[in-house]
Amino acid sequence: MDFVFVGGIVLLVLLGPWVLVWRISSRRKRERDEDNERWQELTSRTYTLEQTVRTLQAQRHSKDIRAPWFDFVCVNIYLAKCRSTTCSTGR
């Protein structure tokens, strides 16, 4: 009876750390796979975003689209010039 008890303790001491190492390595492998999937997803999203930006830039250059604020700035510059001359007061 004592031999079985001592043998069980010895096996626990010898095999216990190996079981822990196996569990830790399998968890690290799973986390590494999840990280790789995440990086692939981010890379794909970045590529899609870059392609969208390039497409929008090509459309902007081909159509010569002005920025929405461009007309506002031009009007304000025109009004400033008019105020400095006789346009607005008629003097």
Q: What is the pLDDT of residues 18-46, one digit of tens each?
A: 999 999 999 999 999 999 999 999 999 99
Confirm if 42 and 48 have CB atoms less than 8 A apart. no
Give the DSSP letter string of 40-73: HHHHHHHHHHHHHHHHHHHHHHHHTPPPHHHHHH
Q: What is the pLDDT of residues 69-84, one digit of tens each?
A: 556 666 667 667 767 6
Q: Is the pTM of this model over 0.75?
A: no
